[in-house]
Amino acid sequence: MRLMTGVFAVSLLAASSSLPAAAAGPDLTDWSAIEKAASGQTVYFNAWGGSENINAYLEWVGAEMQSRYGVTVVQVKLEDTASAVAKVIAEKAAGKNEGGSVDLIWINGENFVSMKQQDLLLTPGWATALPNWQYVDVENQPTILTDFTEPTDGLESPWGGAKMVFFYDSARTQASALPDDAMQLLDWAKKNPGRFSYPAPPDFIGSSFLKQVLSEVIDDPAKLAKPVEEESFERDVEPLFAYLDELHPVAWRQGKAFPQNYPDMKQKLADGELDIIFAFNPAEASAGIKAGELPETVRSFTFSGGTLGNTHFVAIPYNANAKEGALLTANFLISPEAQLRKQDPTYWGDPTVLAMGKLPEEDRAAFAALDLGVATLAPDQLGPVIAEPHASWMERIEVEWRRRYASGN
């Protein structure tokens, strides 16, 4: 999952201000002192609030943190992660270097890059100092150490994986007719007008679709690992917009309107308005079936050449009021217990960031026993991971998308 957009422009508000003289952070070598200081703290966890099952999972996290450590976790539900980043930027500009209003942020991509570049995050290395870091799968999940091509430097702690997967209703659509890459998807849409669409950017699912297409149609995919080059940007993205110019006339409502978000697409699949949708979680279809939101005949597929994938994280602002409570919460989020519940599609279905070989035998057995759901592809069926582009690409692409198409919404 990529967690929203739009902070680069906001960050200019603080770019000229001096860097904060941050208060000394907690002693990361004294975990018992951190636990003691955290007791009684309230952690304001700024996290996307657009999914009922994710919100319910975070309620469970809050209950566990309260009973175990006396820490109160309050989810500040966001539509766009950039709004939380903007709070920290505004506090820095006002000289509020202690007692900040944001303690923990669900983050990745350009939002992380923006905060890192402005020294708005807790001291480097805090994430790798967490006791539960010992279980994290840094060997097989390189996106844990590099976020949208930007080194994480221990400034954010992973708590889930994401990979783009497509869903269809096998009662209406034959598996043999499914597309296997972006160009085949365009051909399928032309043969099945009105049966495919995507959310309008800056919705992160819609923006992810744009990146998937761009990664397949750009003349040199290696360019996406580097910052946008202004002199070649229009030429580099023209294949993407040529693709969209062909797609929109045969898309749902002829591209004059777009689904609001993934839940809206899910409802449209259930209602028979759309025949192919997509999400950034391989377990979303199974979770929707279990919740009665999707027919039991819904199944998943992906592109054999690869689809977009990344890791999502939590970060602690430099001026967080409850630093110890935030550290404790971040550590709990990568505990085997919390990761097991999160991967269970009954609760969320979000892929784990832990390495099974590093876990105690009992925990490994618990993960192995998980029923991932009838519509969830096995890990070896998900295909290769296409790395997220450098964060600068998404900001520019979204601006260009709005310029070309927003008036038609």
What integer pLDDT is reported at residue 117 of this predicted model? 93
- Cα separation, 173 vs 258, in Å, equals 22
- At residue 296, φ and ψ (nearest 5 deg) are -70, -10
| H/E stretch holding 208 | helix 204-217
What integer pLDDT is reported at residue 143 of this predicted model? 86
Give the residues of the chain that fall short of pLDDT 70. Answer: 1-24, 380, 407-409
DSSP-based three-state secondary structure for 267: helix
Q: Which pair of tokens denotes residue 280?
A: 């950034």
- Cα separation, 130 vs 76, in Å, equals 24
What integer pLDDT is reported at residue 6 of this predicted model? 44
What integer pLDDT is reported at residue 13 of this predicted model? 39
All structural domains of the chain, each given as residue ranges with its CATH number in brackets, are 7-161+310-374 (3.40.190.10), 165-309+387-408 (3.40.190.10)
Give the residue from 121, 48, 119 showing the smallest Cα distance to 81. Answer: 48
What integer pLDDT is reported at residue 40 of this predicted model? 98
What integer pLDDT is reported at residue 380 of this predicted model? 67
- Cα separation, 206 vs 348, in Å, equals 21
- Cα separation, 301 vs 222, in Å, equals 26
What integer pLDDT is reported at residue 16 of this predicted model? 36
Give the residue from 385, 358, 92, 10 showing the smallest Cα distance to 215. Answer: 385
Q: How many CB atoms lie within 10 A of CB 30?
A: 11
What integer pLDDT is reported at residue 15 of this predicted model? 39
118: left (phi over 0), alpha (psi -120 to 50) or beta: alpha
DSSP-based three-state secondary structure for 315: strand
- Cα separation, 264 vs 120, in Å, equals 34
pTM, two decimal places: 0.74
- Cα separation, 38 vs 32, in Å, equals 10
Q: Which pair of tokens denotes residue 100?
A: 């900040």
DSSP-based three-state secondary structure for 144: helix
